[in-house]
Structures are given as C-alpha cells and as structure tokens.
Amino acid sequence: MGAEIDLMRLYPKPKNRMTERPEITDEDREISRRFDFDYFDGDRRHGYGGFGYHPRFWTDTVDLFTTHYGLTNDSSILDVGCGKGFMLKDFSLRLPGATLAGVDISRYAIDHADPDVADLVQVADASDLPFPADSFDLVISINTVHNLDRAGCVRAFAEIQRVSRGSAFVMVDGWKNTEEQELLQRWVLTARTMLSSDDWLVLMAEAGYEGDYAFWNPLS
C-alpha cells in the first residue's frame, strides 16, 4: 500500500468549522444524499450552501499534487467525485497539455459543471468506472468513496486501482481516537461508511488498493 499523506493540507479551512453547520437530522442526511441542488447550492445544513469556483480553493492544492506526483503536460489525471469540476479546472490551468477526466454520481453537478471542463466530466459511479484498465497516471478521489456502503467502498477502491497505471490518492472520513469519532459522526451528511483509520486500511487491503490515502475529520 502507499503512504498516508495529507495532500489537502493547503485547502482553505473554515475558521469555525464546528459551529458553521446547525445540528444535523436524519432528514437532512436523506436530502443531502440525493446530491442535487439542495446539496450543492441549497441551504448550508444540506451541504455546501452554494458551490462556486474560486481559485483560492484548488490552486495551491493542485500545485501540491503536481509536485508530489511529478505531473507534467503529458500526464493523465482522473478525478473520481469531481463535483462541478473545479479541481479539474485548476489542473487544466496548471497543466494545459494534460489529459483530464472526471466522474460524479450527481447528474446535477455534471449538468452544472464549470464551462471550461464541462466536456471532460460525466455521470458515473465510483464503484464502476467507465474506463479501461491502466488509463491514468494519477487517480484522485476526495471525500467520495465513503458515500458508498462497505461493499461499494471495496469495489470503488478496486476500481481506482484498476484504472490507475501509476499513482492514486484517496481521502475518506476516518478517525484515530474517540474524540474524532464522536465529532465525525455528528458532522457527516453523506457518508454511509464511517470507519477508524485502522479499519479503512483493512478495507483498502481487501480491495487490493496500493495508492496513497488520507483521513478527514472535523479536527483536521
């Protein structure tokens, strides 16, 4: 397996993360898991509360990925769970010659993708990626795989491994102590699989995943 590395450390973090979202109900989670307008552009209690492009979010992170994985204009990159394609947009600016693709389960997100990358993205499930084996130099999936049930997570990790011919990076919700576990279980809207970091590693090994990984929680 690869290494645990926080390649999202330069992504801006809210100053008041733990208080910016009201108490979450099961109804809120049901609405959020539709991944439609309510999740991306509706009320904050159901998701982003408005999901638009701003270079401060992805520029530095894309630079970090580019440097860490030695990406060039000849590289091919897949974003699994690409949303409206904002990370891909910044990759296209950073590496204008690179081959880019993105998939997301949300028809709403794909239909409202950034115009600069709208032709690069499509609706697809992370557990059944529509690409041949060994298609991409780097496959990225940030806070997406955990939205599947456990069996789906295993398939998604296996699929990410299958379509990568070089490197992969996956971030999922996970905890390393009781405090992180309690906060995460209160915070999450969409995750169907919530595990400790140790249990995630067991699942990744079961899937044959050999890429890098990171665990997100509200204290990150």
Using the 8-state DSSP alphabet, how is residue 54 labeled? -
Give domain status of residue 16, yes or no: no
How confident is the model over 200-219, as pLDDT tens digits? Answer: 999 999 999 999 999 998 87
Instruction: Give the pLDDT band (50/70/90) at residue 19.
Output: very low
Number of helices (H) and strands (E) in the chain: give both, helices first.
8, 7
Residue 197: give its domain's CATH number. Answer: 3.40.50.150
Give domain status of residue 33, yes or no: no
Element (H, E) at 207: helix 197-207
Tell me which of 220 and 68 has the higher pLDDT: 68
- Number of domains the chain contains: 1
Give domain status of residue 26, yes or no: no
How confident is the model over 104-146, as pLDDT tens digits? Answer: 999 999 999 999 999 999 999 999 999 999 999 999 999 999 9
Give domain status of residue 148, yes or no: yes
Domain hosting 98: range is 56-216
Distances (CA, A) of 217 to 9, 56, 179, 181, 182: 13, 21, 10, 8, 10
Give domain status of residue 122, yes or no: yes
Give domain status of residue 154, yes or no: yes
Give domain status of residue 71, yes or no: yes
Give domain status of residue 80, yes or no: yes
Q: Which two tokens stand for residue 194?
A: 């919530």
